Structure 1
Amino acid sequence: MADKLRTLQQLEHLQQKYIGTGHADTTRHEWTNNIVRDSYASYVGHPALLSYMALGMGECREVVRARFVEKMVRGVGPAPVEREDGEDGEEVVVVERRDRGGK
């Protein structure tokens, strides 16, 4: 029983420390957004990798860096619109899910 409690506490600690670890309520859009942003942050944060990618793209390194920072901020786009059935089964309610910003 103590092992299970310790495991849950460690998981909660990781989720607070690293947003990208996700949780039970993480949507597919949030998960994908975290992966894309983390990838672009890594590309920008490692100068050798950025130079390699710029060389392959045939662009100046700073142009590629600016493009990657812009893509990192944008993520994968707006959150999708979900459709849910109403209580009577006939009515369709449109619910917009907003990105919680990693919370």
Structure 2
Amino acid sequence: MSSELRFTATTQTEHLHARYTGTGHADMSKYDWLTHQHRDTSASVIGHHSLSQYLAIADNEAIGRVKFEQTERMLQPCGPPPQKDDD
């Protein structure tokens, strides 16, 4: 019974990772996870006009400028990737 439950949980997790790329996996680094979160947030701000309006009013900027800046932040939202140790 326990092995069936584990198999089902593993299958559901694999399905989730295949369907939604931002859900992460066991080997994902903190940098990659944060990058996904920041990009998802920026995409949400760009996609939802009311969020863009809110940020435009708060920053006293045009809505187009807010969307442009959010798009630019999606390139490297957390800065350059960290050095990888190949040891």
Compute the TM-score of the two structures, normalised by the length of structure 2: 0.90
Instruction: Supply the RMSD in Å over aligned alpha carbons.
Output: 1.3
**Structure having greater relative contact order (Cα 8 Å, sep ≥ 6):** 2
Q: CA deviation at 1:83?
A: 4.3
Structure 1 segments of 4+ aligned residues over 3 angstroms from their partners: none
- SS of the residue corresponding to residue 75 of structure 2 reads helix
Higher share of residues assigned helix: 2
Quote the sequence identity (%). Answer: 33
2:30 corresponds in structure 1 to 28
- Structure showing greater Rg: 1
The equivalences for 1:4-83 within 5 A come to: 4-83=6-85
Taking the aligned partners of 2:82 and 2:16, their CA distance within structure 1 comes to 27
**CA separation in 2, counterparts of 1:78 and 1:38?**
18
Deviation string, structure 1 residues 27-54 (Cα, Å, up to 9, x no partner): 0110110011001001111101110110
Kindly provide the CA deviation profile for residues 49-87 of structure 1, in whole angstroms up to 9, marking residues without a partner as x. Answer: 110110000000001100101101222122101446x6x
Q: Which AA in structure 2 matches 1:34? A: H
CA positional deviation for 1:20: 1.0
**Quick check: which one's strand share is greater?**
1
The size of the alignment, in residue pairs, is 85
The amino acid across from 2:5 in the alignment is D
Consecutive unaligned residues in structure 2, runs of 5 or more:
none
Unaligned runs of 5+ in 1: 87-103
